[in-house]
Structure formats: structure tokens, C-alpha cells
């Protein structure tokens, strides 16, 4: 169920959107496009550090920190990411190669998000739901919606009672799963009315500009 007035707000957004962060985001997209794999410590650290810091989701924010941030990145984060790197790369490569939509790939998308979120939890003792979504988004921009508290608050106003059938028999983080179901409904609604694709990036910008 989409809230009344959503279409008008979205058209207003499209008419006034200045893409203020387009250049900065393009650097992050290029970084991940040119360095998609997880087999070199310096590249892994650089990607997690830059994306996390840029999007207020830094991985060094953790429970019971006992070492400096620099040591944590190279002594803890990098070895773990190298350990799971092959599996993460296989998951992302399969998603990119399939070429389908979010709805068509929702099971693999949600399970990949939970996989990375569980890794981050092991590293930090915290549910890094937002960081996992943002990190994966920059590796597969058309497939992962960006989750954070502001987007969550906004989407709840636009999509009141989402259809969650897509979550059946999926091993996912329920919070992110609910968020994705709502985002899919908003995406479908807006695509039908604008007759063009509405990307995760565009929808995120809309939620942040018009949702609060």
C-alpha cells in the first residue's frame, strides 16, 4: 500500500534533483568497479574504510575495542575478509552475471547481505546492517538498496503494509528483508507511473530529500 501523494512528491523530486553528491559517489562506484575482488589486504581496507567513513557507517565503531583503528583494519578486518573473500566474490559475480532485477534475484541478494552482515558482526559485535548494504551497493549498484535509519524512517511513511511473500524460505536479516520488500513496492509503483527504471540510488536520494 503506497501512501497518498507519493507520486506528486516523487515528480517534485525529479524536477528539482540536483545530484549534489553525484561526483563523490562516482568515485566510490569506480573504486569498486575497478577493484571488485577481495584478495588483497590494502584494497579491502581501502574500500571498507572509504565507504564506511563516507556513509557514516565505519566498521571501527565496535564493542570492546582493544586496539587502534589502524591495527583493527589490518590485523582483524583484512584477514577475515581475505578468509571469506572467495565466497563473497562468487556471490557478487553470480549476481552481476545473472543480469536480473532485484525482484528476480531477491533470495541471493538478501542472503548475500546477511552473509556479509554476519561477518561484520563477528568482527565488531554489532549488527552492521547499514554498512553491509552500503558496501554491497557500491559493488552491485542496481541490486542492493541502501539501508540506514533515515531511509528506514522514510520508506515506512510511503509503504505502509508491504507484501513479504518474497521473504519466505530465505535466510535473511528480517529488518533488511522488510526494508527491501517496501523498497520493491515503491520502485514498482514509481516505475509504472514514470515508465522508466528507478534505480536504488535514485530512490535513496528521493527518500533522503523528501521523506523526512
Q: Return the residue matching grid coordinates 542492493.
A: 144
Domain boundaries, the chain: 6-210
Average pLDDT, whole number, for the chain? 92
End-to-end alpha carbon distance in the chain: 19
Rounded distance between C-alpha atoms, residue 39 and residue 127, angstroms? 24
Categorize the per-residue pLDDT at 166 as very low, low, confident or very high, splitting at 50, 70 and 90: confident
Q: Given this model, what pLDDT does residue 205 score?
A: 92
pLDDT, tens only, 101-147? 999 999 999 999 999 999 999 999 999 999 999 999 999 999 999 99
| Angle of the 106-124 helix axis to the 129-139 helix axis, nearest 10 | 130
pLDDT, tens only, 52-65? 999 999 998 876 66
Q: Given this model, what pLDDT does residue 147 score?
A: 98
pLDDT, tens only, 19-32? 678 999 999 999 99
Q: Given this model, what pLDDT does residue 172 score?
A: 96
Amino acid at each position: 500500500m503506497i501512501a497518498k501523494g507519493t507520486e506528486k512528491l516523487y515528480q517534485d523530486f525529479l524536477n528539482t534533483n540536483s545530484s549534489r553528491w553525484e561526483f563523490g559517489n562516482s568515485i566510490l562506484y569506480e573504486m569498486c568497479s575497478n577493484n571488485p575482488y577481495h584478495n588483497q589486504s590494502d584494497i579491502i581496507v581501502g574500500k571498507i574504510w572509504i565507504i564506511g567513513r563516507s556513509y557514516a557507517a565505519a566498521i571501527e565503531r565496535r564493542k570492546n575495542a582493544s586496539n587502534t583503528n589502524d591495527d583493527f583494519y589490518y590485523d582483524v578486518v583484512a584477514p577475515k575478509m581475505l578468509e571469506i573473500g572467495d565466497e563473497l566474490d562468487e556471490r557478487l559475480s553470480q549476481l552481476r552475471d545473472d543480469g536480473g532485477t532485484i525482484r528476480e534475484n531477491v533470495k541471493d541478494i538478501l542472503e548475500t547481505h546477511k552473509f556479509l552482515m554476519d561477518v561484520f558482526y563477528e568482527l565488531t559485535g554489532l549488527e552492521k546492517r547499514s554498512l553491509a548494504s552500503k558496501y554491497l551497493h557500491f559493488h552491485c549498484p542496481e541490486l542492493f538498496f541502501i539501508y540506514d535509519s533515515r531511509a528506514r524512517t522514510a520508506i515506512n511513511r510511503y509503504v505502509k503494509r508491504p507484501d513479504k511473500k518474497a521473504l519466505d524460505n530465505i535466510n535473511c536479516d528480517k529488518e533488511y528483508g522488510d526494508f527491501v520488500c517496501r523498497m520493491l513496492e515503491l520502485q514498482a509503483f514509481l516505475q509504472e507511473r514514470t515508465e522508466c527504471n528507478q534505480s536504488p540510488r535514485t530512490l535513496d536520494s528521493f527518500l533522503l530529500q523528501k521523506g523526512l
